Each structure stands twice: as structure tokens, then as C-alpha cells.
């Protein structure tokens, strides 16, 4: 299948620019195509289009808006095979994972479109001839920025929430994985979203974010990505008194209690760890296992890691693809080397695979000291440090000791212990006896330095709405 012809999408038109950057296939290191990079003039045009698009879209009756968004979801579902192939080519994840991602985001769009119908205000009983009401309205044009690890999922969460709420949006998707975003925007355009309501740009990240956030017409900033970049963008938005949504990184602890089934826990944890080669914000990344079940857990986890088939995500039977870029490959090598230098042992994996592409073996580390970088820095790759504990309070202290709080996981057979984990773990997303990630029916988001604001569920649409209190004195 031919890789998409990449363009910006501004004011209902597909636009080429004078600058571009190569897009690499992470499994082969070959060039797939070239992504156009927006100039400041392109960005200004996108903002002006978003202003006009907002007026058109917000005044489109909710039933018509919803129907258009459902048509977009239908088109995306029909093209799931194609979009998945594009995604695997540019990001590396196995084709089945990619296709599942496309199907999930089509469902997320349908959910948000329907949930926007329920963004009710309310009438408040008041005295005399005054009618007191609360109304919800779209915040206005949105600037959104998304990463490369979920080429369909991350852009769609921003587009679905904003468009369902009645906002327009200028979205900068990743220059490393632009094809999936282009295919998704094509579905919206063909479904009938009016010109200017949805604009897609690519460009130099710092240049684009600085320009869009400073634009007076932009009313809200939405970002998914690393903590350092999130802090920078939040500061820029704050300087302009603009609200922002920040879904930032984490370092998700997994606590396996003494009464847990260690084999079952290990299999579920290992599956979640190596999905998308560990390049998931909510990926389990620190495994704290009670000494009573540590050895059984370790054996089962290692067996699961060694059973993973690493290869080109387009090949049949592959269960883990390459890392998405050479930066992640270098980061894995450095994290493992640091841990080993501090006394950790590599049980399996620990090195780059000897083949073209950005492949790194599923890796399990033991005897990892608390000051090893892999214990305090989000690995964002297929490296799993497993350490024992003897006291649950101590494990909770270790789990909460980092400044992150996106996701956390716990395994126990005891309802009482489960409640202790639920109340004790500092995270915005928590799963007990499995390692479930984000779902479109419920809110997702972090605490502490993992960000603020929610995506998914009613909260995901509410994030793009403002609340207006109206006091209406009735007169003859």
C-alpha cells in the first residue's frame, strides 16, 4: 500500500509548503515520505480559518453536528485496515494493535458526539421575577498538540472532544507519524465538517506551539506529551490566561501483594508492559512485588517476555514492533547500562537487536537499586525493573515517591487490601487485578506533575465547554 501524500489541512483545503522533513519507517529505517512544515503564515491562516469555522460549527444544530461526527466515525471504521497499515509503517506497532487503535478511536468519537447532546445546563429556583440559569457553551478555537506513540488515538481524543463540544481546532500532530492524522482528518472532511472547523498542521514543534498559543484567537490549549514540554506549554498558556489540558508522562507502579496470584499477575502485567513496545504513558513501569510471591512472579514475567515475537509489525505473528525512533533506542541502552553499573542484573534482553530498524529486546531487570535511573525516570520502552518488598506501607511509599501520578496498578485477592491500594496510590488512573488503560467511557488524566484536566467520559467534553451563569429579570 502506498504511503499517503502528506499535506496540511487548512480552511478545508489540502496545502503543501516550501519546507518538509522525512518520515522514517522504524522497522527498516527507509524514508516513507516527506511531511510539510508550516510557516508562520500557514499558522496564521489556520487560526483565521478556525475563527470562521468556530462560528459556523457552533451554530450548526447539535443533531446535525452529531450526525456529521457519526459519519466521520463510520468512514474511519470502514478504512480501519488502511489506516492501521499506515500507522504500522510510520510508528512500528504490530498491525493488529494498530487496527484495534483505529477501531477504538472511532468508538471514542461516537461516544463524545453523543455525550455532547447531554451537556445540559440547569434552571435554578429563585425568588421573584428572576430566572437563574447555568448554560454550557463551547470555549472557542482550540490549539492542540499530540505525540507519536498513538498516531490515531492521541489526535482523535483532542479532535473528538473539541468538535463534539462545538469548538473549532488547530491540531499539530506528530511530524514522525503524520500519515494516520492525515487519514483521520480526511474522514472528517468527507463527512461534512465545515471548512475551518478542523485544521491540521505540522512543523517545528517549538515554533508552532509558541505561535499558536500566543494567538489571541486561541481560547484553550490541549497537549499530550512529556512533563518538561508540558510545563513549558502550560506556562505559555498561563501567561496568556488561557486554560489548558495537560496529559503528561508518568512512571506507573505495579504493586503485587502477598495474596495475589503471581502467575496471573505476571502475565497481565507483562502483556501491558510490552504493548506498543512500552511506549505508552500509562505503561506499567515499576514492579514492586511482595517477597512471598516474587520468584514466581519473576519466572512467569520472564517467560512472557521471552515469548514475545519481535519484528516488523506488518509481518504475521509479530507481537512487538520496533521502537518508534532512534532516540528511544538510545534511551533504552542508557537506562540498562546505568542500572547494570549500579548492580542490577539483566535477566533477559537488555540490548538492541542486530538488524536494521530500531529494535530493542523485551528486557527484565532485577536487583535494581532505588537510585537507578530506570526507577526514577519514565522508561517509555520495553524495560521492566522488578524489585521485592516486605511491607505494603513501604511499597505504597515507594510507589508515591516520584513526582508523577498518571497511572498505577495493584494485584490482590483481598477487598480490604484493594481498598487500601485504591485510597493509597496517588494516580489519576488506577486498575486493580489488571492493567487496563484509558477508555472513552470514563475520564483519564494525571495528578501531580502528570498533568491536569481529563479526557474521555463526560469530563472529556466538559473540558472544551465554558460555564455561563445567566440571571434574567423578567419584564413586561
Active site residues: 247, 281
CA distance 272 to 98: 15
Residue 365 near residue 305 (C-beta atoms within 8 A): no
> At which residue does the C-alpha cell 463540544 appear?
165
**Given strand 465-473, what is the order of strands in its sheet?**
122-124, 130-138, 465-473
CA dist., res. 426 & res. 450, Å (int):
11
Residue 240 near residue 250, CB atoms below 8 Å:
no
Q: Is residue 115 within 8 Å of residue 458, measured between CB atoms? A: yes
Maximum C-alpha span of the chain: 83
Cell triple for residue 272? 501491558
Helices then strands, counting H and E runs in the chain, come out as 15, 22
Instruction: Tell me how crowded residue 470 is: count the other CB atoms within 10 A of its CB.
Output: 12
CA angle 250, 209, 323 (to 5 degrees): 45
DSSP E strands in 57-207: the ranges are: 122-124, 130-138, 142-145, 169-172, 198-201
Alpha-carbon dihedral angle through residues 390, 396, 402, 406, given to the nearest 10 degrees:
130
CA distance 155 to 172: 9
State the pairing for strand pair 130-138/465-473. Answer: antiparallel
Nearest to 284 by CA among 421, 426, 430: 430
Distance CA 331, CA 374 (A): 10
For residues 271 and 305, what is the distance between their CA atoms, to the nearest angstrom?
8
Set of cell numbers at residue 76: 474511519
Contact 219, 242 (CB under 8 A): yes
* Enclosing H/E stretch for 51: helix 40-58
Three-state DSSP class for residue 25: coil
Neighbours of 397 (CB within 10 A): 12
Residue with cell 490541549: 222
Amino acid at each position: 500500500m502506498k504511503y499517503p501524500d502528506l499535506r496540511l489541512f487548512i480552511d478545508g483545503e489540502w496545502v503543501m509548503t516550501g519546507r518538509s522533513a522525512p518520515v522514517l519507517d522504524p522497522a527498516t529505517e527507509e524514508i516513507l515520505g516527506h511531511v510539510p512544515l508550516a510557516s508562520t503564515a500557514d499558522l496564521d491562516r489556520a487560526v483565521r480559518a478556525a475563527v470562521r469555522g468556530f462560528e459556523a460549527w457552533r451554530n450548526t444544530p447539535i443533531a446535525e453536528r452529531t450526525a456529521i461526527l457519526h459519519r466521520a466515525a463510520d468512514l474511519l471504521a470502514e478504512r480501519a485496515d488502511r489506516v492501521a497499515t499506515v500507522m504500522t509503517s510510520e510508528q512500528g506497532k504490530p498491525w493488529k494493535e494498530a487496527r484495534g487503535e483505529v477501531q477504538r478511536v472511532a468508538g471514542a468519537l461516537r461516544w463524545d458526539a453523543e455525550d455532547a447532546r447531554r451537556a445540559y445546563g440547569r434552571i435554578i429556583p429563585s425568588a421573584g421575577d428572576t430566572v437563574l440559569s447555568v448554560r454550557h457553551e463551547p470555549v472557542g478555537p482550540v490549539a492542540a498538540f499530540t505525540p507519536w506513540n498513538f498516531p490515531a488515538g492521541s489526535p482523535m481524543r483532542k479532535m473528538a472532544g473539541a468538535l463534539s463540544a462545538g469548538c473549532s481546532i488547530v491540531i499539530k500532530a506528530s511530524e514522525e507519524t503524520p500519515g494516520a492524522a492525515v487519514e483521520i482528518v480526511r474522514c472528517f472532511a468527507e463527512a461534512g465538517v465545515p471548512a475551518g472547523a478542523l485544521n491540521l498542521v505540522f512543523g517545528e514543534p517549538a515554533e508552532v506551539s509558541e505561535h499558536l498559543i500566543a494567538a489571541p484567537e486561541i481560547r484553550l490549549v490541549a497537549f499530550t506529551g512529556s512533563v518538561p514540554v508540558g510545563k513549558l506549554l502550560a506556562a505559555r498558556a498561563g501567561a496568556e490566561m488561557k486554560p489548558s489540558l495537560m496529559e503528561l508522562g508518568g512512571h506507573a507502579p505495579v504493586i503485587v501483594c502477598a495474596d495475589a496470584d503471581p502467575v496471573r499477575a505476571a502475565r497481565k502485567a507483562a502483556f501491558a508492559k510490552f504493548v506498543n513496545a512500552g511506549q505508552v504513558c500509562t505503561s506499567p513501569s515499576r514492579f514492586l512485588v511482595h517477597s512471598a510471591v516474587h520468584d514466581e512472579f519473576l519466572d512467569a514475567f520472564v517467560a512472557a517476555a521471552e515469548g514475545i515475537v519481535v519484528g516488523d509489525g506488518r509481518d504475521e505473528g509479530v507481537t512487538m514492533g520496533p521502537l518508534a525512533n532512534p532516540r528511544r533506542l538510545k534511551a533504552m541502552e542508557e537506562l540498562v547500562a546505568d542500572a547494570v553499573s549500579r548492580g542490577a542484573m539483566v535477566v533477559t534482553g537488555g540490548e538492541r537487536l542486530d538488524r536494521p530498524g530500531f529494535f530493542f529486546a523485551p528486557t527484565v531487570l532485577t536487583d535494581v537499586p532505588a537510585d537507578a535511573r530506570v526507577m526514577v525516570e519514565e522508561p517509555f520502552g520495553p524495560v521492566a525493573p522488578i524489585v521485592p518488598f516486605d511491607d505494603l506501607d513501604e511499597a505504597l511509599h515507594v510507589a508515591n515517591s516520584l513526582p508523577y501520578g498518571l497511572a498505577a496498578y495493584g494485584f490482590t485477592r483481598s477487598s480490604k487490601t484493594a481498598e487500601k491500594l485504591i485510597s493509597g496510590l496517588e494516580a489519576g488512573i488506577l486498575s486493580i487485578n489488571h492493567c487496563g488503560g484509558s477508555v472513552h467511557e470514563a475520564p483519564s488524566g494525571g495528578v501531580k506533575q502528570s498533568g491536569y484536566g481529563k479526557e474521555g467520559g463526560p469530563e472529556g467534553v466538559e473540558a472544551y465547554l465554558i460555564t455561563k451563569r445567566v440571571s434574567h429579570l423578567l419584564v413586561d
